[in-house]
Amino acid sequence: MSAIVQAQTEVVQDPKHFELSPANRRWILWFILFGFAALAFGVFQGFVQGLNYAGISLFTFLPGMKTYYEGLTAHGVLNAFIFTFAEANGWLSLTTARALGRNLNSKLLALSFVLLVLGTVFAGIPIFLGKASVLYTFYPPLRAHWAFYFGIALAVVSTWIISAAQLWALAEWRKEHKGERIPLMAYVSIMTYIMWDISSLGAASEDLFLLLPWSLNLLPGSDPLLSRVLFWYTGHQIVYYWLLPAYVSWYIFIPRMVGGKLFSDSLARIAFIMFVVLVPVGFHHQYTDPGVGNYYKIAVLFLTFGIAFPSLLTAFSIMYALEIGGRANGGKGILGWFLKLPWTNPAVSAQVLAMIAFLPGGITGIMNASYNMNLLVHNTTFVPGHFHLTLGSAVTLSYFGIAYWLIPYLTGRKLVLEKIAKWQPWVYFLGILIFARGEISGGILGMPRRTALAIINYEPLPGWKLAGALTGIGGTIMFIGCVLFFLVIFFTLMQGKKMESTGDLPFTETYLGAAPSGWQLILDKLSYWVLLSFILIALVYGPFLLTHLPPKLTSPPFQGF
């Protein structure tokens, strides 16, 4: 069996040789750096948001910031949209190109990058001028300046262009490799973008056909219910667009980095297929919306629990690889292998800590999906507590870990300030645990989210002060962790020694590789899974749209800023 397995273990087309073109390398690096620049601006606003819960108001002291909601909008848009879009665009372009053994179309990469930058500028200017304090959910009838909606649209289009570049490369690859299995690393990268292509149609439709023309006074009013339905059609799945690039690293790179191997090629493909198929779960964000019928809420309740299953498959696959690696390094006993993981490698420690933080993040997500629990915690800090355990830890910490080897690979410069890099993930991890503890416990006690608690004119309920203090302390430690990361990356770019060779990407091998025949071949029929996804979407969202359309454009705009 060993010989058979070895013959099937490649997760890339050409494991021996690949040259990333200078143009591909340049645009991918710009994506990565631009994303971290957006994160830097966003986390500073996040730092101030955390202090707000501790009763410290710094909003009006920040240049260009006049209100709490300006800062909260900037924090959400820069960190949830721009940072994640840029990192995914760059990171999964690289993994697709390397897996297929062919560079992506550089003109498409350049166009995508330019649109993302323009989108950031268009969306950012009205935010910092106080004309788009509508938060990252931009619910109508709150109305922002038209440039905000236009900028968000450009940012989304930039992701579609990356998907087009991926699919173009795959089509060219298939012409030359008829009957062959898609290399796993390309498969998971492309499926991430296919999932996002389908999922982003809701918010994109809302933005382009309802909000943008409304902001230009081309429509008589807004339809808040339809807008919320379209937003949350995308709004839950965007979590997986944030998360799946981290999964690509956990599946494909972490096993090799810890000295292990990926257990099963097919299991990894099945997990990503489930993310593509189980798109229509957004109604669970609208359990309290009176205009949404019980049919939709019950349907998505079960689908939401179903979409936890691929994450359980991922947990099994990654734990398998970690244990194999830990035991190969001398670990013994039930948990002794865990201590033998290469914790001094920040590329590993950051991502393993991200996985640990994601455990309560996933559990609190399931709690949010439970109807009665959702009614209790929906408009409280429980939600951002959960949110920061997913986007703020599983995603952001993973990108920190990826950057520790990716920046040297793309620039040819050796990582500097290595001692700081070794401690940085631990500092951030400690911060996120304290922060989330404060937010979640406060939420259970009714502490409201999206509220300037530092300037409220009523007495906080019992327990809020302790929860708020923990949120402020944890947020401050997270901010310090981010500063340490930016210092390492900045000085690596400026002072890192040039390396003679950057080597190849550290992709894994698999024990059970891609079978050349049998039932597994259907896993590569991407159109089948897309069709199944649209059928499920039609079953869940079709009745609502048929009974609600045409839009009820009756709500006048409201600007509370």
Active site residue 75: no
Active site residue 25: no
Structure tokens at 448: 């409201």
Environment class of 296 (CB within 10 Å of its CB; exposed 0-12, middle 13-18, buried 19+) = buried
Residue in 138, 187, 240, 263 annotated catalytic: 240
Residue in 386, 400, 404, 511 annotated catalytic: 386
Residue in 25, 75, 143, 388 annotated catalytic: 388
CB 222 within 8 A of CB 195: no
Q: Omega of the bond prior to 141 within 30 degrees of 0, cis?
A: yes
What Å distances lie between residue 119 and 42, 158, 247, CA to CA?
A: 16, 9, 27
Alpha-carbon torsion (244, 250, 251, 252), positive or negative: positive
Query: Cα separation of 81 and 193, whole Å?
Result: 15
Active site residue 388: yes
Query: Cα separation of 252 and 505, whole Å?
Result: 10
Residue type, 542: G
Query: Cα separation of 407 and 413, whole Å?
Result: 8
Count of C-beta atoms within a 10 Å radius of residue 452: 16
Closest CA to 442 of 53, 45, 51, 68: 53
Residue in 75, 143, 236, 284 annotated catalytic: 236
Active site residue 145: no
Active site residue 386: yes
Residue in 122, 387, 507, 544 annotated catalytic: 387
Closest CA to 398 of 436, 364, 362, 348: 348
Closest CA to 304 of 334, 271, 274: 274
- Backbone φ and ψ for 10, nearest 5 degrees, come out as -70, 135
Residue in 102, 269, 284, 449 annotated catalytic: 449
Active site residue 36: no
Active site residue 544: no
Instruction: List the catalytic residues.
Output: 236, 240, 386-388, 449-450
